[in-house]
Structure 1
C-alpha cells in the first residue's frame, strides 16, 4: 500500500484542480436526463408537516448560530431506572454508574414515560433507590413524575437534606410537568388557575432549599408519543415552557431566574436529519422566546429520550439500530442529556442485557465515534439549516395559535392541539398500514421464527386514584406504530398454539425463479407481517400440478406470483386451477393492469402491491381463514 505523504496529497490536490467544479445546473441536467420528462417535484420529499426536503442543497449561507452544548463536552449518559422493587432498582443504578452511565433517569410509577412500570413514589423507596449513589458528585439525576407520584420530587429533596448534602452541588432536574400529565390523561381535577400556584409553590420551595434546578419540564414526548409531528412537538414545548415562565413570574419570580427553572425534553427517533434539525430548531425558537421576554438568550437545557412510538415488540433487536440513529441525531443536534429506551421495553421490564445495550449505545457513540468533539457539527449544512428554518417558522406559527387560544392548558381544553395531533396520527397510521412508513421486522421483513426475548418478571406499583376528573378534554395517549401489525402476529401465535399451525398462504409461483422470485419475496413479506405463513414453491408451468400442490398444502388462501409477461400467458389458467382445487381466496402479487377484468373472472379476488392497504388486506385474510 502506497504511504500517504505531504507530496502525494499535494499531487492529488493539483490533479483535482484540473477538473472544472461541478455546479447545480450540471447536476440538474443529469437528473433531468434520468427523469425522462417526469416532473422534478417527484424527487422532493415532504415531512408530516408538509415541509419540503429537496434532493440536494448548496452550502448554507449565513448559517444560524445555535448556542448549546459546548465542543468537547459530552452529553449526560442517562440510564433509565424504573424497577418497581426499590432494592432491585438500586442495584441497577449502582451497576449503571459503575459501567459508564453519568446520570440516572428515575422514572416513577404514573409518570408519562413509565409505560406500565416505575418506582414507588414513597420516601422509603427513594431512600433505598438512592442508597450508595453519590448524587453530589456531578451525577445527573432526572425525575419523571406524574400527578400520583409528584411527591417523589419532595422525597428526593428531603433525602438530600437528610444526608447532609449540599443541594446546590446536586445536579437534579425535578421534572414537574402538570400540563403534560393533563394532556396525556385528557382530564384534570383542577383548573389551571389552581394548578399554576401549586407548581410554582413547589418550584419556589425547592429553590429555597438551595437546589439550582431546573424544576419544571416542557415535555415534547407528549406529542411525539401520541403520533404528532415535529412542528406540533416544538410548538407544544414552547407553549408549555412559556406557561411555566408566566406562572413563575406571576408568583414573583424574576424572568431572569425563572428561565433557569425550566428545561425541555424532546423525543429522538430514527429519522436522522429531521431529529437533528428539530433539536437545533428548539434552541433557536427558545432564544426567540427569551428575546421576546427582554432577556439575552442563554442555552436552554434540552434532554432527549429515544422515541417510544418507534419501538417494536417483534424483532426487537432492530430497536437497537433505531436507538443508535436516534441517539446519534440528538447528540449532533446538541442534546445535553440522552436517555435510551432499552430495546425490549415494549415487551416488558428490560433485563440486564437490554439495559447494557442501551447504556453502551451512548458510550460507543461518545468514546469511539467522538460525536461530542465538535460543537453544532450540522452548522452550514444546507439541508439541515433549511429544515431547521422551516421547522422554526411553522412551529412559531402554531405556537402563536396556541397563545391566541389562551396558552397551553386552554388550548388543551379546547382540543386545539389534540385535533392537529389526531389528524397527523391518522395520516401516519395510514402510511403504516400501507407500509409506506417502514418498521423493519414488524411491517417489513418479518421473522415468524424469531426466538423468545426475555424480560424481567416484576409487579407494577399500584397507585391510588388522583382526584375526580372535573375538567375533561380529548386525551393524547401514547401509541406505537407497529401495534396493529403486532396484534395480527399475536393472533397468529395464538392460532398456532391452539391448532398446531399458523394460518398459511400458498405461493403459486409461475414460471422459473427468474420470473417469480421478486414478487414471491414481496408476497412472503407482505403476508408474514400479519403472521400468515407463506408456503413457498419451486414454480409451476402445469396448471394441474399447481392445483394438486395447492390441495396438498392444506392452505385456504393462495397468491399468484410471477412477472407481468408470465401473468399474461399463464395467470388466468392458473387462477382457474386454484379455484377448482378449492382456494377460498386468490390474490395476485402486482397491479392488475389491463388484465384485471379477465383475472377477476378467472377467480382472482384481490391484488396486493406496494402502496396498497396491507393492514386491511391482512385483517380480512384472517376472517377468510376462520
Structure 2
C-alpha cells in the first residue's frame, strides 16, 4: 500500500508536459497530414481546437448563486384541465419546484396545451398553493394571451397577494411573429398593447418578469448558437425600448424581461452559450447606463434534437442538455419528456423528465458550485467567440431598425435558413449522427405509449397584414423518420418491409465491417437488410440471393476481394434477377468497370445517405 506522500513523489518524478510536447506527439500520429485536420468548426464557423491551455485572468460568470438550485420546472400541457391538475399536483408532490403552464398556440406547445380560459386556470391550479414558493411560467401565444389576465384575476379571487407569487408571464409577441411569419399588427400597434398589459400586471403587484427573449425560436428552426443569442438580445432590447417609451424607467424595465434558451446535447457549446448570454446581457445593461445585474435565464431542453424513433435515446440527450444548462447557471430548467415528439407524454415519460433534474441536483450536486467552467480554456474561448459573433449579428439587427423590421427584411430568416440547410446536409451525410434515426436503427423497436388527447381548438387571431418568412420548428431526424414511416406502412399493407440482400464475399475479416455499415445504412431508411453467411464464389452468392426474395442487393467485402471477384459477382447477381446492385465502399479506379458489370450505386461514409435511401425507395416503388 502506498501513502499519499508516495503518490505525490511518484507524480513529481515525471517531467511536466507542455503544449509543444503534445504537438510533437500529435505530429507523429498525423504523419504529415495538416494539423487543421483536428480543428472542428461550429455552425457559426467558430474554431474548436483539439486542445486548449488553461484560461488566464478569468472570473466566474455571474449568474445563479452558488448552492442555489435551479427551479425544477415541469410542463403542464394536457388539454383536459382535470387531467392537467392531476399532473401538476403529482409533479409538485414528487420533486418539481415549478410548473410551466403551456397554453395551446404557444411556440412550445407542439400540438397540445391548455385552453386559455378562466375556467381552465381555475381547474388546473386547484390545490396548488401559488404563495408557497412554487415557480410558475406561462407559455402563451397570440391566441392564448388572455391566459395571463385570467391567471391574475384568479389570484385576485383567491385573495393571494400578487407579490407573494413567483410568476413569469411569457408575453412574447415577437417570438410569435417569428414562428408564424406574419402579424395582423405593426410593431407600433403591438407596443401599446404589450406595455399596457405588463404595466397593468405590475400595478397589481406582480413582480414578473413578464416578457421573454425566447431563443428557442431560432434553435427550433435550425439556427446557430450565435443567431439564438442575437435574437434574445434583440427581443430583449425591443421590449426594453417599448417599456421605456411608455414611461417605465430602464432600471425597472430590465427586471420585467427575462431570457429563455434551448439546451441541447452538445455539452460545451450549450455551456458556452448560456455563459455568453450572461456576459452579453451585462453589456446591454452597461449600454443603458445601468450597473449590470444577472438576467433570469430559463432553459428548455431542445425540441429539434428529439427523435420519434428509439425515443429512449432522448433521455440521454435530455440528461446532457440539463447537465450543461445547470452547470452554466440556468435559473430554471424544463425537460421535454422523451416521447413528446410522438404525442402527449404518459406518466412514465413525465416522471423521467422530472427525475432527470432531481438526480442531477440531489445526487450529482451540480448546483453546489457557481460557474465551474470558469478558467476552462476551451469553454472560455467558445464563450468569448460566441459573444463576438452574437454581438455582431445583434448590431446588424439594430441597424436594420430592430427585430420586427429585421423580420420584414427577412434578415434573420435568411441566416437561419442557410445554417439549417448546412445542418441538414450534415445529417443527410451522417456527419452529424442521430442515434436510432440516422444510425443504429432498430426496425423491431417496441411501440411507445403516449396519451390519447384531443388538442384545444383556438379561434383565428386575425388577418395577417404583415407577412415575411416564417421560422417554424423542425426536428432534425424527421427526414429519416419519414422513410421509416413508409416502411411501417408497407409492412402493415403487405406483411413485409422492402428488403436488400447483404451479399458477403470472402471471409468475415473481409466483409464484417462493411456488412455492418450496410445493414445500418439501409435500415435507417426502413429497408430491411437480409443477413447472409459468407460466400466464397459468385455463383453460390447469386443462388443464395435468388432464394432470399429480395430484389435489391449490396455487395460487402474488402477492396482486395472486390478486385478479384466483384465484377463476376455483379454479373452473377444481375443474371439471378437483381433489380439494383449496391457496393459498400468507394469505387476507386474500378468504378467504370464495376458499373459496366451492373453495380448501380456505391455506399460509403460521408456520402449523402438520405438521398441514396430516397432513391432506393423510388426504385422499389416502381418495381
The verdict on a shared fold, with TM-score over 0.5 as the criterion, is yes
Deviation, structure 1 residue 595: 1.1
Aligned position for 2:479: 484
Match of 2:18 in 1: 23
What is the CA deviation profile of residues 275-334 of structure 1, one whole-angstrom value per residue up to 9, with x for unaligned ones? Answer: 000000000000000000000000100000000000000000000000000000000111
Q: 1:169 aligns with which of 157, 164, 167?
A: 164
| SS of equivalent residue, structure 1 residue 372 | helix
Q: Which residue of 2 aligns with 1:576?
A: 571
Whether the 8 Å CA contact 2:505–2:537 is kept in 1: the answer is: no
Q: Is the 8 A contact 1:64 1:385 kept in 2?
A: no
SS of aligned partner of 2:212? strand
Partner SS, residue 535 of structure 2: coil
In the TM superposition, what whole-angstrom CA distance separates every residue of 1:440-459 from its partner, at most 9, and x where no partner exists? 00000000000000000000
Alignment pair present for 1:267 and 2:262: yes
**409, 414, 417: which one aligns with 2:404:** 409
Question: Cα deviations across residues 556-578 of structure 1 (Å, max 9, x unaligned)?
Answer: 11000011111111111111111
- In the alignment, what sits opposite 2:463? 468
- Other-structure match for 2:608: 613
- Of 292, 298, 304, which residue of structure 1 is paired with 2:293? 298
In the alignment, what sits opposite 1:100? 95
- Alignment of 1:189 onto 2:172: no
Q: CA deviation at 1:512?
A: 1.2
1:274 CA drift (Å): 0.2
Aligned to 2:390: 395
Between stretches 55-64 and 233-242, larger displacement belongs to: 55-64
What is the DSSP-based 3-state SS (H/G/I as helix, E as strand, rest coil) of the residue aligned with 2:6? Answer: helix
* 1:585 match: 580
Contact 1:589 1:609 in 2 (8 A): yes
Partners of 2:168 and 2:6 lie apart in 1 by 55
Where do 1:178-327 residues align within 5 Å? 178-327=173-322
- The DSSP-based 3-state class of the residue aligned with 1:348 is coil
Per the TM alignment, residue 13 of structure 1 is displaced from its structure 2 partner at its CA by: 1.1
- 1:423 aligned onto 2:418: yes
Secondary structure, counterpart of 1:509 in structure 2: strand
1:57 paired with 2:52, answer yes
CA contact (8 A) 2:264 2:302 kept: yes
Q: What secondary structure is seen at the aligned counterpart in 2 of 1:605?
A: strand
1:363-411 Cα shifts (integer Å, max 9, x gaps): 0000011000000000000000000000000000000000000011110
Q: TM-score, normalised by structure 1?
A: 0.99
Task: State the TM-score, normalizing by the size of structure 2.
Answer: 0.99
1:52-89 deviations in Å (ceiling 9; x for gaps): 00000011012144110011100000000000000000
Q: 1:440 & 1:264 partners in 2: Cα distance?
A: 30
Determine helix, strand or coil for the equivalent of 2:200. Answer: helix
RMSD of Structure 2 on Structure 1 (CA): 0.7
CA shift, 1:470, in A, is 0.3
Q: Which moved more, 1:507-516 or 1:452-461?
A: 507-516
Pick one of 349, 357, 360 that aligns with 2:355: 360
The answer on 1:109 being equivalent to 2:124 is: no
CA distance in 1: counterparts of 2:357 and 2:165, whole angstroms: 23
Check the 8 A contact 1:304/1:337 in 2, yes or no: yes
Q: Comparing 595-604 with 31-40, which one deviates more in the overlay?
A: 595-604
Question: 1:161 Cα deviation (Å)?
Answer: 1.0
Report whether the alignment pairs 1:600 with 2:598.
no
Of 217-226 and 562-571, deviating more is: 562-571
Shift, 1:20, TM fit: 1.1
1:438 deviates by 0.7
Find the counterpart in structure 1 of residue 617 from structure 2.
622
> 1:68, 1:610 → 2: CA distance?
43
Number of positions where the alignment pairs a residue of Structure 1 with one of Structure 2: 621
User: Are the counterparts in 1 of residues 60 and 370 from structure 2 also a CA contact under 8 Å?
Assistant: no
1:542 and 2:541 correspond: no
Query: Is 1:329–2:324 an aligned residue pair?
Result: yes
Alignment of 1:363-378 (within 5 A): 363-378=358-373
Task: Quote the residue 1:38 is aligned against.
Answer: 33
SS, match of residue 547 in structure 1: helix
Cα offsets for 1:411-431 (capped at 9, x unmatched)? 011100000000000001111
Query: Partner of 2:148 in structure 1?
Result: 153
Q: Distance in 2 between matches of 1:605 and 1:617?
A: 11
1:105-132: CA deviations, max 9, x gaps?
0000000000000001000000000000
